[in-house]
Structure 1
């Protein structure tokens, strides 16, 4: 029986996919095989030795200690694309909010409560909140992953001229992208040409402060910027300065900061991108599928710290090994198992690698101990 620790409320639609004959779920486990988590911070958590995998029901994994998990042989999954439609819809909303001063106008009308002839009074003041239409304007989409592609395609449907930038555009992303989207190879092309810019990239050392004083200086005067991805992708001090000067006409984000909240032409939302019941259900179902596939067959799909690997499994004697990506490891493995290997798969990712072997006969504890003793071996699991 596998024990799954829940660090947040996880949609029952997903949890119901776990076979109750094989899995039990609880927030109270001290020892457990897998973790399902959303936003809980796990950096200070001491994981039990039995922990084999963590699935984040969402895309970002900043709340998980990836390096420590890799060192301990704990596979970390995320759920790319499961919340992409929800985020896309919020970005479309943000385009309108950035253009038409809808929030400001609504707040002003609310302030008129008790005013005599409130209807005409509200109508008279509407010109203060006028704004441009988005049709015919250029939208720059930075990052063409699952979310960025959907945003780009939706904007094409809204009659925008869409420019997309992603140096790591996948084959699947390219196939899903509308042929009307202009794919550019230099980020400066987005900055120099686009009336609206929305960013959809993961946060890392390379992408932090993608929107900064230097990049804003390259943009059109009156540009409108949307960030519903990660707060640190935008230098908030530089953004506040640009909003004050009018260089940036509007900024919509769902990451609060004192600098941005002080700006009249900034709209800050709670982090609402994936806050839909459909998105939560989709993320939970994908996360559950990831941990059950890994625990039952050794398949790794959508891991952020280990290579993805699937070897067809028809039952029998399977051994799954996480190890350092170093020379002669495969030779050491085949020498240690001491029985016929019927099927095998191996993939590497950076400093780490993952190997699956299917054996003709059940490995003995001595076989498994010999594998564990190989220099660079991190974990050995027999199914």
Structure 2
């Protein structure tokens, strides 16, 4: 049996206000061809199906259209919720989708056995079981204790994740004895490489989970949340498939991929590269160098190439800034679009507030960045500062989850 692992679709994502819906459609078209070519029988999507907890009607339509395309391939589909997803929104059509052999686990159910999905082969025999574990929110992992220190709360979150995977393994052993099992997860494992487009999870990413704590029961662990494709050092094969399309300029050099697990070959996985539908470019230099580089661009992608332009000069110069603004404003080349630009003066030291005003566009600023800028203006000891940041992260997670309750 062949199982395809992907994650972090982020339907509805905009890259500096540029809609990426075409990128996702092209990916789904390619994915359908790959499923046919490799005779895939099970598709795993490990969280962050949508980019927002309350996706637009257009995003929801795109999601269901993708499911219709995939359904025609007679492939079992298992999707789990991520930290960007609303469990309630994902779970709403779950009963209808289940009848179509599409299983959705939007949030952690009360009974962990509800996350276990048996998989039959083409002759109707149950061949393996999938522990489809979604993103584990703070409320799923621990009970708040008054007076609990920062380090104790972090330890409780990590222990909660470990216990969840351990419980899933134990229930698998009881309900599906002698059957191989795979697990899905959406979390931040320690020792991996991130990109700018991942939103902080758990307690400000300080609760990075030690992958050794996954244990050794599962034959393969299919992870989501980290957009850079990579393997995690653990007791069993553990991989981030990565996002199928670049979601930030920090991912411009990543080779996007999906993974195919072969149960007949000791559950070994094969990395299948996804074609580049759209290039992301970073162009930097002084005014003259930028002009030359922009003039010499040649398009090699299906969709328009998106560009980040960085003016690099030794000394601050208002005239250079004006010339740079004109260069960006006047840029008009078929197949290319400048969506982000900033300045970098080597010999000018600036305070944090100045950097926010002059170098960072509004869409680049994360809520936590703003909060850290604010508390930096106060004198706190390290333990108090950690407590404040942890409280902020917990509130931010609650707000993001509550977005799903808002009307469109």
Global fold match (TM > 0.5): no
Query: TM-score when scaled to structure 1?
Result: 0.28
Structure with max Cα Rg = 1
